[in-house]
Structure 1
């Protein structure tokens, strides 16, 4: 009885979006989504989701704690267009207007195991000082029409942005059938390198006083 070879490989990603640090603002929440190539398909889990609001901690760390879970499974036949997670953080400004507080994105780690990523967030800048003043007065700050634009390299050179904060994400990555397609992702299970055993030094007999070595 022959066993047929798999037609796809699987990528399962769990983890959580843990904490964030931002200058200004409070009661922050985020939306996350996944961007991937045409050969990738979500077969289990949520591709887009919104978190709860979090307040800035009262201790010296001044962090926002979400601990929001991630759980998604992809299938594909081609690693091109490896999935990326896109995170958009929102909050309220001085005038209580809901504005974007930061964008960030990163690829899902390409090796199985637990990985922690500290991602820098950024916001788009107005093209001129007048537009910057008007956006501040009206509460309509520059935003991307499609947040997944930040996962692409095309057109990024004409986009003006500035750093806004950082966010910490933990991934737990599991892979299936990658090796059967000929891809080496650094999976565990290889035979470890074993060094040759070190032989103990030969015993040396010290002659007593009055005895010869013969």
Structure 2
């Protein structure tokens, strides 16, 4: 009996939001959500979530250790609209209000295996000093109504922002049936091994052995 070829491929994402770096603050927590194209469907896992509140470590690193798990599986018919994860960090100001500490986004790695991403975070800025002072007094800092705009990019060129901190994420990526649908996800250093230069003239060089 002939075996039918697959019509979709699977992208399985595991990992965690590991640490945060915000030197000016003492406590943060993060929200996250995945943004993806119309041809993608979530088959299992959580599309969005919120971490616990973490305090800055007392050692020299001064990092916020979160270690919050990520677990989601997608299926799709084509790679257009490859998923991204959007992370937005929050904390408390001197008045006890929740204020945004940073926005950031990164694409899910497109190669199977373990990966680490260090995301540079940023916050929107007020358009004037008066608005900045008013926002500080009222406890309503500038923020995006929908954080998914970070991954879309439309209208971002007119947004005034300021860099503030980093978030580190780790990913464990598993893919299924991508090669059967004609997509090559082999890492470039494995698909095209380097050819060392020969020290003797006229000697034919052989490809370097691919590491296991």
TM-score computed with the length of structure 2 as normaliser: 0.87
In structure 2, the residue matched to 1:124 is 124
Q: 1:21, 1:62 within 8 Å by CA — same for their partners in 2? A: yes
Whole-angstrom CA distance in 2 between matches of 1:109 and 1:193 = 21
In structure 2, the residue matched to 1:109 is 109
Written as runs of structure 1 = structure 2, the 5 A alignment for 1:187-202 is none
Deviations 1:144-180 (A, max 9, x none): 0000001112111000100110011001111000001
In structure 2, the residue matched to 1:62 is 62
RMSD: 1.9
Q: 1:31, 1:88 within 8 Å by CA — same for their partners in 2? A: yes
Q: 1:102, 1:165 within 8 Å by CA — same for their partners in 2? A: yes
Pair 1:137-2:101 in alignment: no
Aligned residues: 195
Deviations 1:106-164 (A, max 9, x none): 00011001001111000000111111111011110001000000111211100010011
Whole-angstrom CA distance in 2 between matches of 1:94 and 1:184 = 52
Long gaps (5+) in structure 1: 196-214
Q: 2:54, 2:65 within 8 Å by CA — same for their partners in 1? A: yes
- Which secondary structure state, in structure 2, belongs to the residue aligned with residue 28 of structure 1? strand
Q: 1:121, 1:164 within 8 Å by CA — same for their partners in 2? A: yes
Long gaps (5+) in structure 2: 196-212
In structure 1, the residue matched to 2:209 is none
Change (3 A) 1:159 1:194: closer
Whole-angstrom CA distance in 1 between matches of 2:171 and 2:185 = 16
- Which secondary structure state, in structure 1, belongs to the residue aligned with residue 26 of structure 2? coil
In structure 2, the residue matched to 1:36 is 36
In structure 2, the residue matched to 1:212 is none
- Which secondary structure state, in structure 1, belongs to the residue aligned with residue 54 of structure 2? coil
Deviation at 1:79, TM superposition (A): 0.5
Deviation at 1:186, TM superposition (A): 1.2
Deviation at 1:95, TM superposition (A): 1.9
In structure 2, the residue matched to 1:27 is 27
Change (3 A) 1:194 1:142: closer
Deviation at 1:191, TM superposition (A): 8.6
Q: 1:18, 1:170 within 8 Å by CA — same for their partners in 2? A: yes
In structure 2, the residue matched to 1:159 is 159
Whole-angstrom CA distance in 1 between matches of 2:14 and 2:124 = 30
- Which secondary structure state, in structure 2, belongs to the residue aligned with residue 24 of structure 1? coil
Q: 2:102, 2:165 within 8 Å by CA — same for their partners in 1? A: yes
Written as runs of structure 1 = structure 2, the 5 A alignment for 1:173-212 is 173-186=173-186
Whole-angstrom CA distance in 2 between matches of 1:187 and 1:43 = 26
Look at both structures and tell me which one has the larger radius of gyration over its CA atoms: 1
Pair 1:14-2:14 in alignment: yes
